[in-house]
Structure 1
Amino acid sequence: MRVAAALLVLAALSACGLQPMYAGGASSPVAQGLAAVDVPAIPGRDGWLVRNALTERMGAAGEAAPTYRLDVRLDDALEALGVLNDDTISRERRILRARYQLVDLTNGEILLDATAGSDAGIDVVSSEYATIAAEQRALENLAADVAERITRRVALTLREREGGAENP
């Protein structure tokens, strides 16, 4: 009975045109498209972290000339959330937002113009070193999260451009 239900679910999924994005592994059109994306330097420590995460996820083009360019602008903010009676801060929120554009280098067309962002809460403790370390770790985690969101959106855009996306 369970096997029949599983087969029915699989048949329904295949009927709607759902298919893996990276079918074909590194030779798939999406993986090849991501590898052909150049990510120029992004200013600041947050930019360095995001750019490294993006190039790692996209498998930056080594031998081939890039076909696309991903322009990224970041906004990193640290806000006080919890304020005690003696006006000391007990909690902070770090926010990392990215505005990015995927540009086709062959004709200069902007294929994607979007934003991505993430935020994290940080406890402010009596040790200044521990608070600074928590703020830096939060930035590292946020950079990885924002890079993942950007990579996913770029992959979807490249997939649609290749004509591989089918609507269920």
Structure 2
Amino acid sequence: MRAAVALLAALAVALPLSGCGLQPMYAGGSDAAVSQGLAAVDVPAIPGRGGWLVRNALQDRLEAGGEEPTRYRLDVRLDDSLEALGVLNDDTISRERRILRARYQLIDIESGEIVLDATAGSDAGIDVVSSEYATIAAEQTALENLAEEIADRMTTTIALALRERERARETAAP
């Protein structure tokens, strides 16, 4: 009896979704237009340690679709800041916040058109402890984690933009 009710509930949920037009973004694997578009993105060097981390994380995600001729360039500007959050009575800092923001543009190399102009950012809280080494290690770990998170967000946004661009091409073609 429970299995029948569960099956009916699943069907009731699935029926409205079938007409909504949802489809997997990476359907088709590395042959999909989105995967090929991501693999065709070149990421020039980004200044600073944070830039190096973000660029490496982006390259790991973008090159997952294989090797494609470069069609797009991703220009990224980072803003990395560290600010004091908690200040004790003796004016020592007890907590910091590391903020990493990226402003990026995806440019079609052939036409010079800006396909995407967006921002991504994240922040992390850091406890400042009596060991200076531990605090520096925590700041560096926070930067590494933020770089990964920003690269994930950027890749998702770029994939969505490329998918919409491909859809527009398909509807425009006779």
Cα pair 2:36 2:66 within 8 Å, conserved: no
Q: 1:61 to 1:22 in 2, by over 3 A?
A: closer
| SS in structure 1 of the partner of residue 69 of structure 2 | coil
Amino acid aligned to 2:30: A
> Is 1:41 paired with 2:45?
yes
Percent identity over the alignment is 74
Unaligned ranges ≥5, structure 2: 169-174
TM-score norm. by structure 1 comes to 0.94
Looking at secondary structure, tell me which structure has more helix per residue: 2
Cα pair 2:45 2:51 within 8 Å, conserved: yes
Cα pair 1:73 1:100 within 8 Å, conserved: yes
CA shift for structure 1 position 63? 4.4
**After superposition, what is the alpha-carbon deviation per residue over 1:121-145, rounded to whole angstroms, capped at 9, x for unaligned?**
0000000000000000000000000
Q: How many residues align?
A: 164
> Is 1:117 paired with 2:121?
yes
User: Rg bigger for which structure?
Assistant: 2
**After superposition, what is the alpha-carbon deviation per residue over 1:66-93, rounded to whole angstroms, capped at 9, x for unaligned?**
0101000000000000000000000000
> Is 1:147 paired with 2:139?
no
TM-score norm. by structure 2 comes to 0.91
Cα pair 1:79 1:93 within 8 Å, conserved: yes
Cα pair 1:112 1:154 within 8 Å, conserved: yes
Q: 1:1-168 alignment to 2 at 5 Å?
A: 1-59=5-63, 63-163=67-167
- RMSD in angstroms over aligned alpha carbons? 1.3
| Aligned mates of 2:148, 2:140 — CA distance in 1 | 13
